[in-house]
Every structure is written in C-alpha cells, then in structure tokens.
Amino acid sequence: MELTEKFEKDQCKNPVEYSIIHKEIPIKMPGDMWEAISYLLWYVPDISSIQSKSNELISNMEYDYYTFIEIMTYMDLKDEDCLFTDKIDEKLADEYKKKICTNSQKLILTQSDGETKTESLLRHIRNAIAHGSFNIVEDLMVGFDEKIVGKDLSKTTAIFKIKPKNLLNALKNAK
C-alpha cells in the first residue's frame, strides 16, 4: 500500500442523514465505542494529556510514512480514503456535515509543520471529541476539527469518518 494524492470523494447512492448534535444526552453508544473514544481522548500517545505516553513510532518523522501506512492497514483504509492538504474547502466540509455514506471511511486532514501524519490524525480526532464535534452513525465516528478564526467564524481543519475500533487496534499494536 502507498499514500499518494488519489483521494476520492464518496460516490453514494443512499447516504444516511445525521446531525453532529447529539440527540440523546449523554450520547448513547456501545461499550466498545466508549472504550475507543476514551482511549482517543486521554491515552493516545504523544498528545497533551498527563495520561499519554510517548511513542517514537508516532512522533518521529523518520517513521512517519511507515507508521501511517500501518495504521491505514489496521483501519482498512485505502489510498483513495485519505487526503492531507494545506486547506480544506468549506464546500467539501459541507458535503459531510448532514449526510454520509456509511460503507466507507474517509480522512481529510490538515497537517502542521513538523507534525507526522499520525500525530495530525490523532490531534484532530482528539480535538473533535473534546469539543463535541462528532457523532456516531452506525459503526462510524464522524467528526470535524475546526479552528476559530474570528467572531462566529471557523475553518475546518479536519474531517473524519472512521471505525474507531479499528484505529484503537492500530494504536494498541504500535508499541
């Protein structure tokens, strides 16, 4: 597997409508989904959490490509499912904000200078969870990381539609 610029948007005949706003408070989800979200929020390697441990495979630029490809493999992601970009077009973000294809996963991420792809992925997911900008649709976690750029203005820095249990398995094996 390789990571190129072959990203493809969803081509879905029957998208599922959803809202990022949780209908039930607190959000209801299976125990294994809670476990995945808890891990992503507090225990992911190399994040700003006292509970987080360092992991050179995630933070060292020399391992960046290899580690991310391994995570893609565990997550059952293809090259066409992943996009790293300098800026996310808000029209693209809008396409994912009200309805999604539930038969595929997608990662659309911006990456900071000096940050590995895996660090970028984990930071964006953690931010979305911490700010409540996610929801569960079937077995997928759909989320958005947004940066405030002015009064009542934000820009999307990440869109993800993933099976968090697959990511959790990948992280537990990246030791």
- pLDDT at position 1 is 65
Host domain of residue 133: 18-173
Average pLDDT per block of 10 residues along the chain, 175 residues long? 80 93 90 86 77 82 93 94 95 94 96 94 93 94 92 92 89 73
- pLDDT at position 155 is 94
118 belongs to a structural domain: yes
**End-to-end alpha-carbon separation of the chain, Å?**
21
Q: Are 123 and 110 in contact (CB under 8 A)?
A: no
134 belongs to a structural domain: yes
1 belongs to a structural domain: no
Contact residues for 5 (Cβ-Cβ < 8 A; gap 6+): 83
81 belongs to a structural domain: yes
- pLDDT at position 175 is 62
Q: Domain tally for the chain?
A: 1
13 belongs to a structural domain: no
CA distance 94 to 80: 19
